[in-house]
Chains A and B, each alone.
Chain A
Amino acid sequence: MKECILAFFGSLFLAILINVDRKKFFWVGLPGSLGWAAYAWLLDATREVIFATFVGAVVVGVYSEIAARKLKSPATVFSISGAFPLVPGVGAYNTVQMIVEGDMNGALGTGIETIASAAAIAAGIMLASAIFRIMKRPM
Chain B
Amino acid sequence: MMTTNQLIDVALKAGEILLRSGAEVYRVEDTIFRIFKSYDVDCECFVLLTAIFITAKPKGSDNVSVIRRIKGVSYNLHRIELVNSFSRNLQERPISYQEAMEILEDIENATQYNFISRLVVAGLTALVFTLLFNGNILEAFIAFGISLILYAFKEKYSVIGFLPFFEYFVSGVIAAAVCLLALSFNPSLNIYIIIIGSIMMLLPGMALTSGIKDALHGDTVSSLYRLTEAMFISVALGAGVGVTLSIGLRLV
Contacts and interface: CB of A to CB of B under 8 A. Distances in A.
Interface of A: 3, 6-7, 9-10, 13-21, 72-74, 76-77, 80-81, 83-85, 87-90, 92-97, 99-101, 114, 118-119, 121-123, 125-126
Decide if the interface of chain B is mainly helix, strand, loop or mixed: helix
Which 10 residue pairs across A and B have the least CB separation, nearest first? A96-B238, A89-B203, A100-B242, A87-B205, A122-B212, A92-B234, A89-B205, A18-B75, A13-B125, A6-B132
B79 interface: yes
Contacts of A93: 196, 199, 203, 234, 237-238, 241
A96 B235 contact: yes
B2 interface: no
B208 A77 contact: no
B122 A6 contact: no
B213 A122 contact: yes
A88 B76 contact: no
B209 A17 contact: no
A92 B208 contact: yes
Decide if the interface of chain A is mainly helix, strand, loop or mixed: helix
Interface of B: 22-24, 27, 75-81, 84-85, 112-113, 117-118, 121-122, 124-125, 128-129, 131-133, 196, 199-201, 203-206, 208-213, 215-216, 230-231, 234-235, 237-239, 241-243, 246
Contacts of B27: 74, 76
Contact of B77 (A15, A94, A101, A114): A15
B246 A100 contact: yes
Given A85-B132, A123-B216, A101 B246 contact: yes
Contacts of A125: 209, 213
B208 A19 contact: no
B101 to A, nearest CB: 22
B76 to A, nearest CB: 5
26 contacts: A9-B124, A10-B128, A10-B132, A16-B117, A16-B118, A18-B77, A18-B206, A21-B81, A74-B80, A77-B81, A80-B210, A84-B206, A85-B132, A87-B209, A89-B208, A92-B230, A92-B231, A93-B203, A96-B237, A96-B238, A96-B239, A97-B241, A100-B239, A122-B213, A122-B215, A126-B213
Contacts of A119: 212
B200 A73 contact: no
Which residue, A15, A17, A89, has most C-beta atoms of chain B within 10 A? A89
Which residue, A15, A84, A122, A126, has most C-beta atoms of chain B within 10 A? A122
Contacts of B209: 80, 83, 87, 118, 121-122, 125
Contacts of A6: 128-129, 131-132
Contact of A122 (B133, B199, B216): B216
A9 to B, nearest CB: 5
Contact of B122 (A17, A87, A121): A17
Contacts of B210: 80
B216 A126 contact: yes
Given A19-B78, A89-B204, A95 B212 contact: no
A97 B231 CA distance: 13
Contact of A13 (B124, B234, B241): B124
Contacts of A88: 205, 208
A19 B201 CA distance: 13
